[in-house]
A and B are shown apart, each in its own frame.
Chain A
Amino acid sequence: VSVSAPVIRSADSTASWRISDRIGLAFAWALGLLFCAVAAAIVTYLLVQGIKFVRPSLLVTHPTVSLTSNNTGGFLDPMLGTVLVALLAIIIAAPVGICVAVWLSEYGRPSALARVAESTIEMLAGSPSIVLALFGTLIFESPVLGFLSQKTPSGVVYGRSFFAAGAMLSLIALPLVVTTVREGLQAIPSHVREASYAVGKTKIATARRVLLPAARPSVVTGTMLGIGRVIGDTAIIVVLLGATMTLEGAGSTPLLRTLRGTGSTLTSYIFANAPTGDLNQPSKAYAAAFVLLMMVLALNAAVDVFSRRAKELRWS
């Protein structure tokens, strides 16, 4: 008696699937490949346009006003503005964010305050940056904070300066710092804390000497993510940095005069140089977009490195 060999069907074969399942799978493949194509198109288009228009001289010349786009200069000032704004924002957001994260993760008492703090930070993460920008004008136009921007002789506070923009931008970086650092702290198992308490360290000393160093990759990741959000924001810059393309200082103290003054960043430079903006020089906008994209890429690469390091830190 001979037994016919059983039909061997590969586990991956879809021949026996129901038609709806096969359509679903085809749909997933099609959309997945479409997404790849769109992503590749956007990235290559920006890179090609950027390389076409970016010149080393653009990076070191100040923007000037001129009728022909050959004479309007480069974007040195916007680049400096981006760096300044990112530094200011992160100087505020990183310490505050780390402290809030430590409190939420290690103390969290009274629990009512913890709940309120969590939901307010979530609300901040969801609130549009244009709203924060408007709120910023309200704060920084108040006479008390006049020393952070310019004042007319009659006492009207202008309210637009690097200080104002940096302070408001720190608010959009804050939720990212808080959530990332908090996740990093919570990933540390409790026996690490208990070991620290057992050798007599207090709670705050444990947080400072044991937990935060262990969570350093998360701290760096959160900071980088925050910087990425800050340098990409346009609304707050357009509203709160004054609309001058060059850095216009106010006062006489060297660094302080720049920080109290107005200026631009790469995002507001692109915004103004797009066909819908006031200056309308697409080639300059493409070049600036290329530089900004390179900054974002560098930050992303740094985040990759540090978040991988955070994952390598396996407890247990």
Chain B
Amino acid sequence: VTSHSARADSAGIAGSARALTERRPLGDRVFQALALVAGLIVLAILALILVSTTQQSTSWFSAEGISGIFSTPWITTPGHFQLGALTFIYGTAITSLIAVILAVPVSVSIALLLTEVVPYRWARPIVYIVDLLAVVPSVVWGLWGILVFAPWAQRVVYGPIASGLKGVPVLGNLFGPGSNGAVYGASLFTCGLILAFMITPIVTSLSREVIATVPAIDREGAYALGATRLEMIRGVVWPHSQGGIVGAVLLGLGRAMGETIAAALVIGSSTQITSHLFTPGYSMPAVIANQFGEAFGEFKSALLGIGVLLFLLTIIVNVLARAAVARNMQRSRGA
């Protein structure tokens, strides 16, 4: 009897709710429509980005073809265009990889420090300081990188390391002097390092968010069994937040790939593919920023095309990252 009457009640409520929505004033409906349009603008912008930039770069795509796009020569002399993007794809891959390798251990360590070690009143100032890295504009990192850090690193760090590792099998190829026997301050490694500084705040804050969802009862259980903090982290925190931290890392990777101005200033702007990290290279956003102003015709269309490739790459990385983080959050909420 009770269940029957409850059903009747809810039907009654639903009925009156429908009656209410039908009587909604015009202003209300206009406001809802406005809000919906504002929300749809996001989807419209993303779609328009893809359509408009692809439209402007079709002449490059059709002139070079797939094999031309993924080739190395980048000749921008009028009439002799050979516009292959492989050098830039390589530079983007290698610098963002350096950035992630350097930034992730540091970021995850800081996230653990914040969640597992320090008391709450210390956590806030630490977060503020880490976030300051993101407040410094990209162009200021670039200015500092090219005028202060690069000359110092070339003299004090890269030079001695390169002469020490010259001829050593694998390390010599990575950290030895380049083919002309020199090392450069403005180089792939400097770029990767500065990108690492710039992505540290976002990787830290996301890792922290993920780690914070580890249930307190699991932590306490591990401690109650006599685990040290490290053992608790390895046994409880790590398995729980692995997936989410992978998402945070991917998000950092996406940021590093698209970071433009700092890279454009410190990467050294040289169209070569080399394993030597202390020599200059070029990345996709850097070449767009540096050469767009003087480009025309198919050259300009090629730079826009590199932009399309970069857009697609970062969208894929970001979708994967957000999906990984969301799944981790959902699972921990369900548990």
Pair from one complex: no
